[in-house]
Amino acid sequence: MMRKKLMPCIVALSCYCLTAQTQSLPQFSAKIDCHNTLPFDKGKVMNVARGGHTTNLDLTWMPAFYNDLAKVGISHFRVDWILSEWFYGAVKRDSNGELTYDFTSLDKVLCPMLKKGITPIMCVTQMPSALASQDNKLPDSWDDYRAVLQQLVGHYKSLGYAGLVWESHNEPETFQFSAAECYEMYKVFATTIKEADPTAIVGGYGAVGRDWINYIRTFLDCYKNDDAHTPMDFFSYHQYGHDDWTDEMLIENTFTNRGLDVPDIYVDEWNDDWTKGGTVGNCFDTNLNAVYIAKKMFMSYQYPHIKKICLFNFADTNTDKIFSGDIGTWTVGGRRKAAANVFDFYGQLYDQLVTPSVSGSETSDYNRYVFFTKENGNSLAGIAWNKTDADAVAAISFEGLDGLDEGEYFLIEKSLIDATHGNLYHDYLNGNFSKPENCSEKAPVVKTWNCRDGNVGITDTLTENSVAFYRLSKKRSDDIGKIVPTEYVYYDITSTVGTSQKDWNAGGVCAIKYAPAVTTADGRNVEMMETYAANISWTTIPLSQMLTGLDNGLYEVVIYANACYTPDRGFSSDIVEGATDVAYVFANDVREYLPSHIATSLSVNGEYTLRTIVIDGTLQLGLGMDRKGTNWHTIQIKSLKRLIPAGDINSDGRITIADVTALVNILLGKPDKGYNLLAADLTGDGKTTIADVTRLVNIILGK
């Protein structure tokens, strides 16, 4: 049985690497011309919402998330049920029937948020019993309603929080009053808030949206026909489902058809179809919601009147379950679901949108797309997604970048959310939820490219239903003082590094059904690469691959491998169990022998650590044989780490004249115990000679 897909592998690539296999996948392209930019407001999409769930009864629960929300760059947080006595009890009546106020509980939720730099959208919905007989009715007294609003606004002004955002209702269409009565209440609300704080931003009414469009129309008829010029800084509505903002023009037309200017629009509740919730492991728990959010966030920029979108909701609400299929982006315990990583990606974007030119398969409907943002200089950050059920290849080219000076190059790094990366639910299923160090919860860097000339571009495979974040920055090859150990992580080698599989079939077939799974350094369980021969003809290299585009230096690679002899196949072997003179694993010229096993199944994985020098950006890894004897081999990479740059012989993290002195001492037979002899072999010939001194001096001189 032939293997459908080769194993994941470490990747650091040169630009424009496109293999024959990737050419058979659907393709799309994006031209990123850095000369053409527009302002880009991240604050439009970096917002979340909270509903009236019973978890709100724990006043410490929401604030426990504020650090994480602030770290990813959340701008606004819609908090509704502000006046509800169920949660906050801010307004009551004493024994004399007088209104009393206690904002202690509300402060416990709002003040820590404000101190973190997150602005609440104060949705003043649900009447307390002090104002109405039921929480979904109009206030019994407009004067009392005004008094409560004045106290509420005045309280936060006194704490130094003037200019907050105030919203009048939350889906009043389902309440016990008409659209005309809703407007009457909004009018009192908006005028009172503005009188109490002229810098406040006021709006409403938190409409259900399309399904109640006639309610909106009647509300706006009342607004138009009222000569009082009631302030409306924004109009808010909700939309669930759809990949784009199909309701937006319907809402805008309700204004323009009446000769009204369209105010700022807040879509302060949105997400995928809420009826999909409740099934553990559904779209809301996985990368499927992440790619939906990534696409829809970008689509909002096509509508200039939309100023804020607030994802509902920021966290799951079922405190009895780690995963419940709820529509939150964080788990109840504060761990990132896949969707939270999309917010992290958008939060890292810059404030200038590089106008993209995108074409190809599935791009007209934005199911596959790429866009980049720019900072002053050559720092770019971009997002790509593939919202289809098939892998696709993206060809991304960059124009208008500043030229490279001698010794400089462009580094492009890719982080990923897909079925196995940046997807906590996958880690949960594989037993890594309780071990953050072994999972990829925070969307790890999975690939890097080094572009060393003016022709800057990459080709990259985007797996099905995935979101990628790319960062491009200018680096210096000789900026040794800033070099830190580089951890290379894993990706599919079939689309990246040009795998060589010598004698892969060797007269036999691949028996992958017996290949064991191993755990890579990033916590994923993957099959090993395997080859099986029906005879013992191998005497060279059954399995190998070449990694390209690496930074030069001393590398440590950890490899899983097996070399087995299967008896009773009509041939014989003269090896014995545990023989260590047959097969070996290698990294460039460094090798380590494996014990050979007589086995009918592969059940024991050997783990081997090799250190080698990379001098030309390439590293060949594999399994070789000195003599015949084994016919069944498997291999997989666990981890690859660049420990020090090539030439750092004294291991001080820098390449200086002191390393030349150290190298000369080695040639004179006076090596210090702190010298790294591997780092001294700069020519890669396995020896330390005067040629290494010449190479080291050239590195220091930038040649």
* Burial of 322 per CB tally in 10 Å (0-12, 13-18, 19+): middle
N-terminal to C-terminal alpha carbon distance within the chain = 50
In a domain, 584, yes or no: yes
What residue type is 366 in one-letter code?
Y
537 φ, ψ to 5°? -100, -15
In a domain, 166, yes or no: yes
Tens digit of pLDDT for each residue in 382-425?
999 999 999 999 999 999 888 888 778 888 999 999 999 999 99
Q: What token pair was written down for 624? A: 């070789």
Predicted confidence (pLDDT) at residue 430 exceeds the cutoff of 90: no
Closest CA to 11 of 647, 679, 551, 436: 551
Q: What is the pLDDT of residue 516?
A: 66
User: Are 358 and 342 part of one and the same domain?
Assistant: no
Where is the domain boundary, 347, 363, 379? 347
Rounded Cα distance, 449 and 586, in Å: 24
User: Are 135 and 282 part of one and the same domain?
Assistant: yes
Predicted confidence (pLDDT) at residue 191 exceeds the cutoff of 70: yes
Q: What is the mean pLDDT of residues 155-167?
A: 97
Predicted confidence (pLDDT) at residue 356 exceeds the cutoff of 50: yes
In a domain, 242, yes or no: yes
Tell me which residue has tokens 């060949």. 620
Rounded Cα distance, 631 and 565, in Å: 6
Residue 41 pLDDT grade (very low, low, confident, very high; cuts 50, 70, 90): very high
In a domain, 378, yes or no: yes
Tell me which residue has tokens 């002090």. 130
DSSP 275-304: GGTTSTTSGGGSHHHHHHHHHHHHHGGG-T
Tens digit of pLDDT for each residue in 647-702?
778 766 677 888 888 888 888 877 666 677 767 777 656 677 888 888 888 777 76
User: Are 72 and 196 part of one and the same domain?
Assistant: yes
Residue 1 pLDDT grade (very low, low, confident, very high; cuts 50, 70, 90): very low
CATH code (residue 136): 3.20.20.80
Q: What is the pLDDT of residue 495?
A: 28
User: Are 46 and 30 part of one and the same domain?
Assistant: no
In a domain, 320, yes or no: yes
User: Are 563 and 595 part of one and the same domain?
Assistant: yes
Q: What is the pLDDT of residue 617?
A: 73
Q: What is the pLDDT of residue 481?
A: 32
User: Are 438 and 528 part of one and the same domain?
Assistant: no
Tens digit of pLDDT for each residue in 577-619?
788 888 899 888 788 888 888 776 565 678 888 878 776 677 8
Q: What is the pLDDT of residue 498?
A: 29
Predicted confidence (pLDDT) at residue 265 exceeds the cutoff of 90: yes
Radius of gyration of the chain (CA): 31
Rounded Cα distance, 178 and 169, in Å: 13
Q: Which of 252-266, 446-460, 622-636 has the highest average model confidence (pLDDT)? A: 252-266
Q: Computed from CA positions of residues 187, 188, 190, 195, in that sequence, does the dihedral angle turn out positive or negative?
A: positive
- Structural domain boundaries enclosing 530: 500-644
Alpha helices in 348-433 (DSSP H): 424-429
In a domain, 326, yes or no: yes
Q: What is the pLDDT of residue 612?
A: 80
In a domain, 101, yes or no: no
User: Are 297 and 373 part of one and the same domain?
Assistant: no
What residue type is 331 in one-letter code?
T
User: Are 461 and 416 part of one and the same domain?
Assistant: yes
**Distances in Å between the alpha carbon of 589 and those of 11, 420, 553, 607?**
20, 33, 14, 18
User: Are 333 and 376 part of one and the same domain?
Assistant: no
Q: Give the residues across from 362 on adjacent strands.
A: none
Q: Give the residues across from 530 on adjacent strands.
A: 634
* Total number of domains constituting the chain: 4
User: Are 335 and 357 part of one and the same domain?
Assistant: no
534 φ, ψ to 5°? -80, 0
User: Are 80 and 168 part of one and the same domain?
Assistant: yes
